[in-house]
Structure 1
Amino acid sequence: MRYLLSLLFCLLAGVAQAAPAKAYMSIIIDDLGQSSERDSRTLALPGPVTMAIMPDTPHATDFAHQAHKAGRTVILHMPMDPATGPYAWHPGIALDELARRLDAALVKVPYAAGINNHMGSRMTAQREPMTWLMGELQRRHLFFVDSRTSAATVAAAEAQALGLAHLSRDVFLDDVRTNEAIAGQLRLGIEVARKQGSAVLIGHPYPQTLSVLAQEIPRLKSQGIELISLRQMIAERGNQAMPAHGRQGRYTNASPLRKQ
């Protein structure tokens, strides 16, 4: 009996001291290229944080060069309706004009490994241009990240139908711009990662967001969270939809007319 109690105590102690089960997280910072000071602070964040650069910003090209030289993943933060500006995509624009705007945006953001949508709640719900975009990204060997600014988005579903490397965002960090709220969203991201094995988070270069991330990213490992690049996350997820975005790995908004 004494031996069994001793064995049980050792087993319980071992469980208490065991490291948390590993889960994966990727973090994207959007809206870069507007401020050299904020861009620099973002680039100084520890770990493989992805830099999403807007094409219609004064420092887009210079910062893309800096980020690439620093070994960070660069993606094009593509403006989509209701965003405005010379690169923005809007419903009703002809495909050849959408192509011209995409070409011009990629010139402004060199070294882009993929794109994600800036705004886009209306545009990402348009199936025809999203289908065209995914085919174009496939041709260019670029990946797509659906920022999921609307539940009506079909972008990730079209990427999946084509077999394009893609991801969907799980958590926005800073809809509320306070340190407390952002820290809370980061904790939510950790919970999501533990529950489903991975989480993709998107934030912005607000001073509060950068402050929280600079403090908390070094603590992720002790919480069983491994911060990984977007390409690693794409490989980890294998183009599958997460439970909040679909069923049995397929997106809820997949076209009923297309087999996947």
Structure 2
Amino acid sequence: MAKRKTKRKSTNTKHRKSQNINFKLINILLLIILALIIAIGILIYLIDNKKVEESKKDISKIEKKIKEDITKIQETSEDKLNKYVKNIEVKKDKFEEYTEDLYKEYIHEKTEDKTTNIIKEKKPDTKPKTEEITNIQTEEVSVFHKPLPIQTNKPKLAIVIDDVTTQYQINKINNIGYKTTMSILPPTSRNGSTIEMVNGLPFYMIHFPMEAKYFKGEEQGTLHIKDSYEKIEKRVAQIRDWYPNAQFTNNHTGSKFTQDTEAMDRLFKALTKYNFTFMDSRTTSKSKGKIMADKYNMPYIARNIFLDNEQEFNYIQNQLKKAISIAKKRGYAIAIGHPHDITIKVLRESKPLLKDLELIYVNQLPIL
């Protein structure tokens, strides 16, 4: 019995020890699990904090990027504005010199100053008379061997659009709705070729670049006062070869060239040789165009009004009204404009002002 009790006691002891071990193992396992949970929680917390920090960094980067983009947009806008302003100036320079001489109206007077042989310049009366025009040429005029309608006895107005260099400009001008004379700039690397563009035009002129007193970015092939006759003659011959049907030419810029007697003498000699008639754009009041025209037995043609020294609708239309007044008083007038959108718009929308006039090409002027 004693042995059985001892054995049973021993078994119970072993069982309790086994239970204690199992309990400890369970506790250890629970501790490990708890530790893992805590570790996972800490890890999740750290990850979340890292994400928050990364989010903060991302937000900071985004804010920085937005600020940079705003700065770039501001700088780009300023650059675009500056470039736009510069482009306006470049375009302005490209068209004419924009000196005070362009604002002067030129009137062909019947009387001459015999001491200088230069036509006197007078501004038209503020209230020009609408006298009846008589003795206007009514003969039929040919353009490139194509007959034109017989002219009426209405006052004549020739509107010249200078600096034409693209087909787009030609299309706009053709959509004005009445005769306008296009003056084409010769080919350059900047403007491209204008030779093929004139095909099919009923009439056009050549806008001949000449040296200016104050002008930036002159055209390639510009004539200068120190150019020899051989150089000028070669340039005129080149233009004749490019434009075999051209009959008339007028100066692009040229305030310095056209007031130089010797340079103009060389030019007129070459123009006469290649059968060009010169129209004076009058970029200077000191032009020797009249003197040279008389010397070479060439009719003197000069613009009366520049239309678009200022690119504003009312200004351009008022300039057109001045040209109309001159035409009604003198029998004809020549106005020069450029292929600005606003100029084309004014000409297209001013048809009612022209109802009492005959719109003509330059080669239909009564003085020819």
TM-score where L is the length of structure 2: 0.54
Deviations 1:180-211 (Å, cap 9, x if unpaired)?
11111000111111121111010000000101
Deviations 1:94-153 (Å, cap 9, x if unpaired)?
111122222233444453211100000000011122122223222322211000000010
Deviations 1:49-104 (Å, cap 9, x if unpaired)?
11100113214112222xxx132x11110000026233101111211112222223
Of 162, 169, 192 in structure 2, the residue corresponding to residue 30 of structure 1 is 162
Say whether 1:228 aligns with 2:360.
Answer: yes
Question: Is the 8 Å Cα contact of residues 60 and 109 (structure 1) preserved in structure 2?
Answer: no
Instruction: Give me the whole-angstrom Cα distance separating, in 2, the residues matched to 1:196 and 1:45.
Output: 25
Amino acid at match of 1:24: K
Instruction: Give me the whole-angstrom Cα distance separating, in 2, the residues matched to 1:106 and 1:86.
Output: 17
Question: Is the 8 Å Cα contact of residues 236 and 270 (structure 2) preserved in structure 1?
Answer: no
Say whether 1:74 aligns with 2:74.
Answer: no
Gaps of 5+ in 1: 1-18, 239-260
Aligned equivalent of 1:53:
184
Question: Is the 8 Å Cα contact of residues 220 and 227 (structure 1) preserved in structure 2?
Answer: no
Gaps of 5+ in 2: 1-130, 134-153
Say whether 1:200 aligns with 2:334.
Answer: yes
Instruction: Give me the whole-angstrom Cα distance separating, in 1, the residues matched to 2:132 and 2:231.
Output: 50
Matches within 5 A, 1:116-155: 116-155=250-289
Instruction: Give me the whole-angstrom Cα distance separating, in 2, the residues matched to 1:133 and 1:60.
Output: 22
Question: Is the 8 Å Cα contact of residues 25 and 201 (structure 1) preserved in structure 2?
Answer: yes
Instruction: Give me the whole-angstrom Cα distance separating, in 2, the residues matched to 1:47 and 1:180.
Output: 20
Matches within 5 A, 1:1-40: 22-33=154-165, 35-40=166-171
Amino acid at match of 2:161: I
Amino acid at match of 1:169: R
Instruction: Give me the whole-angstrom Cα distance separating, in 2, the residues matched to 1:48 and 1:156.
Output: 26
Matches within 5 A, 1:77-116: 77-82=207-212, 84-116=218-250
Cα displacement (A) at 1:40? 1.4
Amino acid at match of 1:123: F
Deviations 1:146-188 (Å, cap 9, x if unpaired)?
0000001002321123211341000000000011111110001
Aligned length: 211
Instruction: Give me the whole-angstrom Cα distance separating, in 2, the residues matched to 1:62 and 1:136.
Output: 24
Instruction: Give me the whole-angstrom Cα distance separating, in 1, the residues matched to 2:235 and 2:272.
Output: 17
Say whether 1:181 aligns with 2:311.
Answer: no
Instruction: Give me the whole-angstrom Cα distance separating, in 2, the residues matched to 1:160 and 1:27.
Output: 24
Instruction: Give me the whole-angstrom Cα distance separating, in 2, the residues matched to 1:135 and 1:96.
Output: 11
Q: Note closer, same or farther for the CA distance 1:237–1:220 as it changes in structure 2 (3 Å cut).
A: farther
Amino acid at match of 1:87: G
Rg (Cα) greater in structure: 2
Instruction: Give me the whole-angstrom Cα distance separating, in 1, the residues matched to 2:241 and 2:175.
Output: 25
Amino acid at match of 2:155: A
Secondary structure at the counterpart of residue 75 of structure 1:
strand
Question: Is the 8 Å Cα contact of residues 134 and 164 (structure 1) preserved in structure 2?
Answer: no
Instruction: Give me the whole-angstrom Cα distance separating, in 1, the residues matched to 2:348 and 2:220.
Output: 34
Secondary structure at the counterpart of residue 60 of structure 1:
coil
Instruction: Give me the whole-angstrom Cα distance separating, in 2, the residues matched to 1:133 and 1:91.
Output: 10
Question: Is the 8 Å Cα contact of residues 250 and 279 (structure 2) preserved in structure 1?
Answer: yes
Say whether 1:44 aligns with 2:175.
Answer: yes
Secondary structure at the counterpart of residue 130 of structure 1:
helix
Cα displacement (A) at 1:215? 1.8
Secondary structure at the counterpart of residue 258 of structure 2:
helix
TM-score where L is the length of structure 1: 0.75
